[in-house]
Structure 1
Amino acid sequence: MSKDRLSASRRLDVALALVAQGDYVAAIDVARAALSADMEWEEAHFTLGDIYERAGEKENAIEAYRQYLILDPVDRMGAEVRLTLLGAAAMRDRLPPDYVRALFDDYAPRFEISLRDRLAYRGPELLLEAVRPYLPALLRPLEVLDLGCGTGLVGEVFAGQFDAIDGIDLSPRMINRARTKGIYRTLVAGDITDMPDDLGQEYGLVIAADVLNYLGDLAPALRAAHARMKSGGCMVLTLEHGDTFPFDLGPGQRFRHHQRAVTEWMEECGFEIVSDALGVLRQEKGNPVEGRIIVARTISEFTMLASDLIAPGDPDQASGQTLH
């Protein structure tokens, strides 16, 4: 670390301490002083942008985030996401993969405690409840693919329901956490829209728990999943519901998807929705986050098996059912 970078780092630490105290005016002054010590430090530009944003100084925040992107066009800190939410950048069809990877690499050590204890996350449980009626009809042996597997919460919740489970996640550190549980046959660090050859080709069940929220356009991920599935397989997933077609980016930096857009993507990619329920996925700032829990089957087998899977008048057939 250079002398200037060391000085900048110390000043930025002070600025962050002032932010914690709610003194944004002083924090801005100290963060600017940090930049005067090292104008090439991209993290300091991003932090200044964040402080400006907290202080309600939108235009200054935009300028700081843009300066950050000049220094780090890969955007590991997610400045483009901030610019989008500030109305200063066009909506993309996904969050930057390098940003998502860095976010969850950093999050990995505290991921489960944060999700389970602080946010009351129960996405895997809702997915199991939704897909349970369809499991008996799936061909055995049942191999499962866990998209965005994280630390392996899905593997734990679905234990006993499968013959083998594989997982893929952008974050190597999350993968390492999942590996220690000894549940997964294969774990791969990779992108769910372009899955590596290390994974199988004949999955009877694909699970996507709280991962598609980081994609706007769902078609690439759905196509990639379908290509890995057995005929007659199921896919079960969670989404955050949105009123903007086809999707918008929520304040929590996750995409929200319009119901009609999801139906169209599913049909385009070879799926038909058989269950679409509502449920509370987690808490956020003390408020429940309601999402959709969707079960879909590959279309080729759906028409043949629908009468066995869903009896007339079965409440599981109705869109808008609520899971608890």
Structure 2
Amino acid sequence: MSKDRMSASRRLDVALALVSQGDYIAAIDVARAALAADSEWDEAHFSLGDMYERAGEHENAIEAFRQYLMLDPADRMGAEVRLTLLGATALRDRLPPDYVRALFDDYAPRFEISLRDRLAYRGPELLFEAIRAHLPNMPRPLEALDLGCGTGLVAEVLAGYVDAIDGIDLSPRMINRARAKGLYRTLIAGDITDIPSEIGSDYSLVIAADVLNYLGDLAPALRAAHARMKPGGLIVFSLEEGDVFPFDLGPGQRFRHHGRAIGEWLTECGFDLVSDAMGVLRQEKGNPVEGRILVARASDAFVHMAGDLIMPVDPDQAAGQTLH
């Protein structure tokens, strides 16, 4: 670390302490002093942008985030997302993968405590309830693929109901946490829109709990999942619903998807809708966050499951149900 970076780091620490006290104007002054000591420190530019945005100085925030991107084109801190929410750049079809990877690598040690204890997260349980009735009639061995597996919360819920479960996640640190639970047959750090060859095929069940919210265009992930599924296999996933077609980016930096767009993506990627229900995924700032829990069937062929034929349902009849 250079002498200038050391000086800049001390000043930025002070600025961040002032932010925690709500004194954004003073924090901005100290952060600018940090950049005077080291103008090439990307993190300081990003932090300054955040401070400007908190202070309501949006034009200055936009400039600071753009300076950050010049120094870190990979965008590990998510400046492009902030620029999108500020209306300064066009909406892309997914969050930057390097940003998502860095976000969850950092989040991994406190992920479960935050989700379960603070946010009352119930995504895996809602997905399980959506497919529970189908599980006894599915042929064995029943192999499942967990997309965006995180620390393994889905595997905990499915333990005893499937014969094997594999997982994939962008974050290596999340993968390490999941591996320590000993519930997965295979775990791979990778992108769910371009699933590595180490992940198998012919899955009867694919699960995506609160991961497709980080993608705008769902077609690449749905196509990749379909390519790894048995004909007639089930996919179950959660989404947050939006009013903008086909999707928009919410203030929580997650995509919200329009219902008609979801149906079009499913059809395009070879799926028939089985069920579509609403449920409370988690709490944010004391308010319930509702999501859609969708089950769809890979439609290459109809499959008899122990005498039961799973048929596509009318989307108008499927919609509007509620999971508890």
TM-score, normalization: structure 1? 0.96
Shift of 1:311: 11
The 5 Å alignment of 1:62-81 reads 62-81=62-81
Q: C-alpha separation between the residues in 1 aligned to 2:261 and 2:155?
A: 29
Note if contact 2:146-2:167 (Cα within 8 Å) is conserved in structure 1: yes
Shift of 1:138: 2.0
Shift of 1:303: 8.2
What secondary structure is seen at the aligned counterpart in 2 of 1:28? helix
What secondary structure is seen at the aligned counterpart in 2 of 1:73? coil
Matched, 1:146 2:153: no
What secondary structure is seen at the aligned counterpart in 1 of 2:301? helix
Matched, 1:129 2:129: yes
| Unpaired stretches in structure 2, ≥5 consecutive residues | none
Partner residue of 1:250?
250
2:237 maps to amino acid: L
Partner residue of 2:177?
177
Quickly say closer, same or farther: Cα 1:190–1:296, change in 2 above 3 A. Answer: same
1:254-307 CA-partner distances (Å, limit 9, x unpaired): 000001100000000000111000000001111111100000001133587797
Q: C-alpha separation between the residues in 1 aligned to 2:50 and 2:87?
A: 15
Matched, 1:38 2:61: no
Aligned-residue CA RMSD in angstroms? Answer: 1.9
Partner residue of 2:283?
283
1:106-138 CA-partner distances (Å, limit 9, x unpaired): 000000000000000000000000011222332
TM-score, normalization: structure 2? 0.96
Q: C-alpha separation between the residues in 1 aligned to 2:39 and 2:203?
A: 51
Partner residue of 1:165?
165
Note if contact 2:137-2:308 (Cα within 8 Å) is conserved in structure 1: no
Partner residue of 1:57?
57
Quickly say closer, same or farther: Cα 1:3–1:190, change in 2 above 3 A. Answer: same
Partner residue of 1:110?
110
Note if contact 2:232-2:303 (Cα within 8 Å) is conserved in structure 1: no
Note if contact 1:137-1:309 (Cα within 8 Å) is conserved in structure 2: no
1:34 maps to amino acid: A
1:80-116 CA-partner distances (Å, limit 9, x unpaired): 0000000000000000000000000000000000000
1:51-71 CA-partner distances (Å, limit 9, x unpaired): 000111100000000000000
Partner residue of 1:100?
100
What secondary structure is seen at the aligned counterpart in 1 of 2:77? coil
What secondary structure is seen at the aligned counterpart in 1 of 2:195? coil
- Range 132-141 or range 17-26, more displaced: 132-141
Quickly say closer, same or farther: Cα 1:303–1:167, change in 2 above 3 A. Answer: closer
Quickly say closer, same or farther: Cα 1:236–1:311, change in 2 above 3 A. Answer: closer
Quickly say closer, same or farther: Cα 1:39–1:187, change in 2 above 3 A. Answer: same
The 5 Å alignment of 1:222-233 reads 222-233=222-233
Quickly say closer, same or farther: Cα 1:317–1:86, change in 2 above 3 A. Answer: same
Quickly say closer, same or farther: Cα 1:302–1:256, change in 2 above 3 A. Answer: farther
Give the 4+ runs in structure 1 shifted more than 6 A. 303-307, 310-313
